[in-house]
Amino acid sequence: MATTDIHAAQHVHSHDEHGHDEHHAGNFWTKYIFSEDHKVIAKQYLITGMLWALLGGILSVIFRLQLGFPDMDVSWLRPVLGGWITEDGKLDPEFYLALVTMHGTIMVFFVLTAGLSGTFSNFLIPLQIGARDMASGFMNMLSYWFFFASSVVMFSSLFLSTGPAAGGWTIYPPLSALPQAIQGSGLGMTLWLIAMALFIVSTLLGGINYITTVINLRTRGMSFSRLPLTIWAFFFTAIIGLLSFPVLFAAALLLIFDRSFGTSFYLSDIYIGGEALPNVGGSPILFQHLFWFLGHPEVYIVLLPALGITSEIIATNSRKPIFGYKAMVGSMLFIAILSFVVWAHHMFVTGMNPFLGSIFMLLTLIIAVPSAVKIFNYVTTLWQGNIRFTPAMLFSIGMVSFFLTGGITGIFLGNSAIDIQLHDTYFVVAHFHLVMGSASFFGMLAGIYHWFPKMFGRMMDRRLGYIHFWVTFVGVYLVFFPMHYIGIAGFPRRYYSFTNFDAFSGFSDLNQLVSIAAILTLSAQFIFLFNFVYSIFRGRLAPPNPWKSNTLEWTTPRFPQHGNWPGEIPAVYRWPYDYSKPGAKEDYIPQHIPYSETPESNLPHENELIKLETDQASGHVQEGHRPAH
């Protein structure tokens, strides 16, 4: 017999159907905690990411105290760190390693991957492409809660008596595989691996959603060539993550087998206390290959969203179209592709074949080309623009500065010969903290200042924003610029103390400067935190389009409900960068304004387009312009 369920219909376009003033009568739990609304999930990611950033920053200041002031008595930290402060008021050396490891893990994964992509991909993708929500709100919610679970596990590892993982954020075995080698490789490392497994699940759930949404849920007229650069960046980021995080999973899986089941994928010929371990036949280099196959793309997972966010902000606040839109997209694509074929430049000194090293060196140096294209386009967008120095704009320009100064040292490090001297020194630390850490962090801050009005309906305080920017900007350079010199002098990273070595007795003044600057930079973040929290409740009310921007998110109401637009989703008729178009009434024309409404500013080929369409369409009313009722 025939069936009774006729709910077959179409699930494809169901997102179009719940448009009209959806009243989510949900209770507190479904609205703020287990929400499927991409905007709420974005805020959850943002707040969690900010808490992690604060913790990661505090950890770094603790170990900077040790590096800058090795003779200092830090017993005043005992109420917080307890047994990690030794009898004579010094930081425990093993805990120092744990601090370095957790600082790296937290910043790279929890702040700049989850906090950055999680916040802005979630918030901006549906709003800027004109979608009601993500492709799967449920998966999106799961993504956040897997991240939350991962955060809880990672955070709890800080309180173990043996300490959290301490083998560096790259967790190279055998150090990370053997609890006999270092305390942190005990339960702390196990929790690290569990947390990262959950984190990978979260990233994949999120990434699948971002890609699906960008490809399938764009509004009418939103062709790929009209996507804002933010969306392009999030799209590439998600693809890179989808292809590289599973490889980290595989690497971690084999490490779990080595640690817990006695296999020997990475372990061989290890003697502890004169006794040989039973593990034989493994290859520690194998782990490095697998790890860096994720590890290098991860750098771009962190950086690309910042590049996208700043492209958008710089174009908006220069009141000029972005220079070289296609070159911007093309260079991001090229960077994304190259990121998969350069991983061995992290391994030049592992005894790899020098010929292979040359190939990886060549591929690495090629990344300078698309990066230079991007810098050029940023500068030419700013050039002769009618620049508005909002805090977001300042942070974006700061990002360009870090991307440049940090990127240039990448050209040194990418040379397999120079790398022999610079490998694992503070030069490397300075390089990646500028180009990846600070640049991405500034991209994130720029994004928060820029989209805060859309997130919370209020403006952040400009003056506090300026103070925050200048202190942070100067602070970051004061921290990382001297590190280049320390690195060229041969100071290795991850060392607890240099005072015991004659060769490293110099530069203690420089290290003090770095530590003081680090404390200064961290304190400036509290200005931001105050501004952020205060503005959520007491900030000036935001106008609908405070930055006079073109993208679709500014066409939503001040507090968009689940579904984003109360009526129909606006259609898109032009690219997002029609700023200061000659002849136009105002210096911006949003994406949803048709060419036929702006005859005064249309270019000849755009007029052709209208003529062509009106000939076809005359007489029949366009669907998109039936007034909502």
Partner 1 sequence: MEIDMKIVEEAKKPLSMHPKKFALWLFMASVMMVFAALTSAYIVRQAEGNWMVFDLPSLFWVNTGIILLSSVTLHWGYISAKRDDLATVKLAVGITTILGVGFLVGQWFAWEQMVVANVYLVGDRPSAVSGSFVYVISGLHGLHIVSGIIFLLIVLAAAFRYEIHSKNLTRMEMCLTYWHFLDALWLYLFLFMLFNR
Site residues for partner 1, window 490-509 (CB under 8 A)? none
Residue 337 touching partner 1 (CB under 8 A): no
Which residues inside 280-309 make contact with partner 1, applying CB under 8 A?
Answer: 280-283, 286, 289-290, 293
Closest separation between CB of residue 255 and partner 1, Å?
11
Closer residue to partner 1, CB minimum distance, 82 or 262: 262
Q: Measure the CA–CA gap between 542 and 556, rounded to whole angstroms.
A: 13
Binding-site size, partner 1 (CB under 8 A)? 75
The residue length of the chain stands at: 629
Of 27 and 618, the one with the shorter C-beta distance to partner 1 is 618
* Cα dihedral across residues 64, 67, 68, 73: positive or negative: positive
Whether residue 571 contacts residue 555, with contact meaning beta carbons closer than 8 Å, is answered with no
Q: Least separation, in Å, of the C-beta of 593 and partner 1?
A: 9
Binding mask 131-150 for partner 1 (x = CB under 8 A): ----xx--x-----------
String of contacts with partner 1 for each residue 261-280, x by CB under 8 A: xxxxx--x---------x-x
How far apart, in whole angstroms, are the C-alpha atoms of residue 525 and residue 533? 12
**Gap between the Cα atoms of 439 and 309, Å rounded:** 11
The nearer residue to partner 1, 442 or 573, going by C-beta atoms, is: 573
Q: Which is nearer to partner 1, 2 or 503 (CB)?
A: 2
In sequence order, the 6+-apart residues with CB closer than 8 A to the CB of 425 are 486, 487, 488, 490, 491, 492, 493
Place of tokens 């041969």: 490
CB nearer to partner 1: give 242 or 488: 242
**SS3 state of residue 425:** strand
Q: Residue 285 or residue 536: which is nearer to partner 1 going by CB? A: 285
Q: How far is the CB of 7 from partner 1 (least distance, A)?
A: 8
Site for partner 1 in 215-254 (CB under 8 A): 215-224, 242-247, 249-251, 253-254
Q: Which of 179, 457, 492, 594 binds partner 1 (CB under 8 A)?
A: 594
Q: How far is the CB of 24 from partner 1 (least distance, A)?
A: 21
> Are 37 and 70 in contact, with CB atoms under 8 Å apart?
no
Q: Of 420 and 617, which has the nearer Cβ to partner 1?
A: 617
Interacting positions 178-217 with partner 1 (CB under 8 A):
204, 207-209, 211-213, 215-217
Minimum CB separation of residue 442 from partner 1 in Å reads 30
Pick between residue 288 and residue 364 the one whose CB is nearest to partner 1: 288
Q: In terms of CB distance, is 541 or 621 closer to partner 1?
A: 621
**At its nearest, how many Å lie between partner 1 and the CB of residue 364?**
20
- For the bound state, the minimum distance from the C-beta of residue 286 to partner 1, rounded and expressed in Å, comes to 5
* 596 close to 614: Cβ distance less than 8 angstroms: yes
Using rule CB under 8 A, residue 70 touches partner 1: no
Q: Which of residues 340-369 bind partner 1 (CB under 8 A)?
A: none
Report, in Å, the least distance between residue 101 CB and partner 1. Answer: 23
Q: Of all helices (H) and strands (E), which one includes residue 545? A: none
Q: Does 5 participate in binding partner 1 (rule CB under 8 A)?
A: yes
In angstroms, give the least distance from the CB of 584 to partner 1.
17
Residue placing its CB nearer to partner 1 in the complex, 356 or 529: 356
**What is the contact mask toward partner 1 in residues 596 to 625, using x (rule: CB under 8 A)?**
xx-----------xx-xxx-xxx--xx-xx
Closest CA to 286 of 344, 369, 230: 344
CA 178, 184, 188, 189 dihedral sign is: negative
CA–CA gap between residue 168 and residue 288 (Å, rounded): 13
Which residue's CB is nearer to partner 1, number 395 or number 573?
573
Least separation in angstroms between CB 110 and partner 1: 21
| CB-based contact 589:529 (threshold 8 Å) | no
Residue 170 interacts with partner 1 (CB under 8 A): yes or no: no
The DSSP string of 553-615 is GGGS-SS--TTS-SSSPPP--S-TT-BS-TT-SSSB--TTS-GGG-TTT--HHHHHHHHHHHH
Q: What's the token pair of residue 235? A: 């799209």
Beta carbon nearer to partner 1, 63 or 577: 577
627 near partner 1 (CB under 8 A)? yes
Q: Is 595 in the site for partner 1 (CB under 8 A)?
A: yes
Cα→Cα distances 489→405, 421, 427, 509, Å: 19, 9, 9, 14
- Give one word for 130, left, alpha or beta, with left for phi > 0 and alpha for psi -120 to 50: left
User: 3-state class of 271 per DSSP?
Assistant: strand
In angstroms, give the least distance from the CB of 231 to partner 1.
12
Dihedral angle at the C-alpha atoms of 450, 454, 459, 461, nearest 10 degrees?
-30
C-beta of 295 vs 370, nearer to partner 1: 295
Cα(281)–Cα(273) distance, integer angstroms: 20
Burial class from Cβ neighbours inside 10 Å (0-12, 13-18, 19+) for residue 544 reads exposed
Q: In terms of CB distance, is 257 or 507 closer to partner 1? A: 257
Handedness of CA 287, 293, 295, 296 (dihedral sign): positive
25 counts as binding partner 1 under rule CB under 8 A: no
Residue 572 makes contact with partner 1 by CB under 8 A: yes
Residue 415-434 contact track with partner 1, rule CB under 8 A, x = bound: --------------------
* Structural contact between residues 144 and 118, judged by C-beta atoms closer than 8 angstroms: yes
CB of 609 to partner 1, least distance (A): 6
Which of 34, 69, 145, 257 is the binder for partner 1 (CB under 8 A)? 257
